[in-house]
Chain A
Amino acid sequence: MSWDDFPFFALPAAALWLVAGVLALRADTPRRRLAVHLPMLVGIALFAAFIALFWTALQRPPLRTMGETRLWYAFFLASAGYLTWLRWRHSWLLLLTAAMAATFAAIDVLRPEIHSIALMPALQSFFFVPHVVIYILAYALFGVATLAALAQIVRLRRDTADTSLFAFMDDAVHVGFGFLALGLLLGAVWAKEAWGHYWSWDPKETLAFITGAAYLVYIHLRAQGRADALAAWALPVAFLLLLLGWLGTALFPGAQGSLHLYS
């Protein structure tokens, strides 16, 4: 199992997610809802199967390269979108998360990476898998919250802001921030064990601080009870900073010396 086999899993999965997203828009009877559950679950299972087989073939966790993190992101985003739909029934949100997950899967189909079994000694640690997986899970929740915020911004312009949508954004951001903080703390404990200090202002760490601070701004704005455009706009801005930290660290000066730059 390698990147060569990825399209055979990713393309059907992405198609199934998109079908489920479209069908969700009209899922008003139990039978029609079944037509959402089935393709969503089969798509997620296909993706999970690829990750599991890929992991076995690589002989190391597939969490080292950008493409590998995108793999998990698509998986978590689809899963988070589905769980959100189960709980909140925002059908349009399922379609948007399905489209976003399909996009990330498509990037990996269009830019396959080179097969490599090497895992540098610094990454061979108990902390490697939870540190990265928890971060990506947080990213996925923030992705869903951002899509909801964009919808809320449109509603605010029309003066039809939805309180239940704010409630959903709050939940997604609080849970996401909890995961972000756990990922960061696991990273700090690991860094102490691997590099001798728990925080070094490495370019990726600095961007993690910036991302965390941006979400703290949203959390405190909402704790003040501000249900307005400023609170809603905080989420897309924070998500842009998040993407910068995840995919764009290499663009910044000092990144060459970064301890976080793994192809």
Chain B
Amino acid sequence: MARKLWQPPWGFREGALFVAGIALVGFALQLTVGYFDFYVLHFPANIVALALLVALIATGARWGDAPLLRWFSGMSFAIALIVGLLVLAFYMELTPQAVRPPPPSAGWVARLGFASVTSSWPFVLLYATTLLALGIAVARRLRHATRHDFVFLCNHLGLWILLAAAGFGAADMQRVVMYVREGETEWRVYNKNEEAIQLPLAIELKDFRLEEYPPRLALIDRASNKPQPEARPDYVQIDPTRTRGKLGDWNLVVDEYLHEAVRIDGEFRPSPMPASTPAARVTATNALSGAVKSGWVSGGGNVAGFYAALDLDDKSFLAMTAPEPKRYSSDIVVYPKDGKSVAARLEVNKPLTVAGWTIYQFDYDKDAGKMSTYSAMELVRDPWLFPAQFGMALMALGALLLVWRGAGARRRTP
């Protein structure tokens, strides 16, 4: 006869109902007290909470053979939890997520927690339940571990460490953006209330540099001023290895390309001046009428007088797009409050770590392009990064073993 609901041993159905129950408690809390404030978990409260969790896990593992705990740390409940988190993540995907939890007046979707799922009680409670159940599963396995448990432990312990470091460390992470003008030194950043905060380090911006890709050519409609065809615009990339292209009925040949040019008496000439702009001399031949047009095309950069388009016919003209950035960098000197100054070139993907702060190339004056007079840098301090990385390293080892051994990496269920 089939087992009745809640009749031991419990399985997936009880797990699903239990997870739904936790989510319901979460929604009730959400409606009454509002979004979970991660700031309560800042140091040292997060250490205390983590110690409590570990104590709870150790106790759970000590009595781990009790049917209830076997079920709680077992696979049926794990599947129910994974599905629960999957559903919440799906809500997160479907609802636009607010950067900060919205006020209670923001409507029902927001009040139920969907406007900022990671700060909502259902998510926080399921996350905590995952830490507890996964923790007990790992601890139970550790008590009788053999070498056959190695892959299991890499994957599950690694995930537990990562989730614990990410969850308990969230409140201790600091992220600020600092704007520094060329030739100046800055040590203040502004918070969301526009109040200046002084940092324990100062940054001097010696030089900001920007390199650009060769831009693209586009066929522009005179009436709408939009690139053609409007539904899915076509472009010809200026590429030294490919001088021919086609836009609409026009066959294009790029006769000459100057990456840095200035316009003198209507002609473009190469020049490394800061205000220089890309320019191309193009010959366009109409495939239908045989008409030939030739001349300079340039986006003009920041100088209106450098703009040049090539008139094709009474319907359209040929223009150049704004060039896209290839790389940008800031030559900086960092002065920590106590310690030696560090000079470095900051680039996207090449951050610099000084005195516990990691400094990232973040932004620049997009309108001014390579003439930007300031550089924005993001400064991040994350004291919980090391444990998170340790967890990720364990998971990477576990993943490699999965690739190597396939389903053979799975433990043998008795």
Binding site for B on A (CB under 8 A): 2, 57, 59, 114-122, 124-125, 167, 170-175, 177-179, 181-182, 185, 188-190, 192-199, 201, 203, 206-207, 209-210, 213-214, 216-217, 219-225, 252-254
Contact = CB atoms under 8 A, between A and B. Distances in A.
A175 B403 contact: yes
Contacts of A199: 166
A178 B402 contact: yes
A178 B401 contact: yes
Contacts of A192: 385
A2 B245 CA distance: 12
Interface in B398-414: 398-411, 413
A171 B93 contact: no
- The bracket for how many chain B residues form the interface is 35 or more
A221 B413 CA distance: 12
Interface of B: 75-76, 78-79, 82-83, 85-86, 89-90, 92-97, 118, 166, 173, 175, 213-214, 216, 234-237, 239, 241-242, 245, 324-328, 347-351, 358, 360, 378, 380, 382, 385, 388-389, 392, 395-396, 398-411, 413
A182 B396 contact: yes
Given A115-B242, A121-B326, A210 B402 contact: no
A178 B85 contact: no
Grouping DSSP codes into helix (H, G, I), strand (E, B) and loop, the A interface class, with mixed when no group exceeds half, is helix
A194 B349 contact: yes
A125 B349 contact: yes
Contacts of B400: 178, 182
Contact of A223 (B237, B349, B406, B413): B413
Contacts of B324: 118, 120
B348 A196 contact: no
Contact of B216 (A116, A198, A216): A116
B278 to A, nearest CB: 13
B75 A223 contact: yes
17 contacts: A116-B237, A121-B349, A167-B407, A172-B406, A174-B406, A178-B399, A181-B399, A182-B396, A193-B350, A193-B351, A194-B348, A196-B358, A213-B82, A213-B85, A217-B83, A224-B75, A224-B413
Given A120-B325, A181-B395, A196-B360, A220 B213 contact: no
Contact of A217 (B79, B173, B402): B79
B93 A124 contact: no
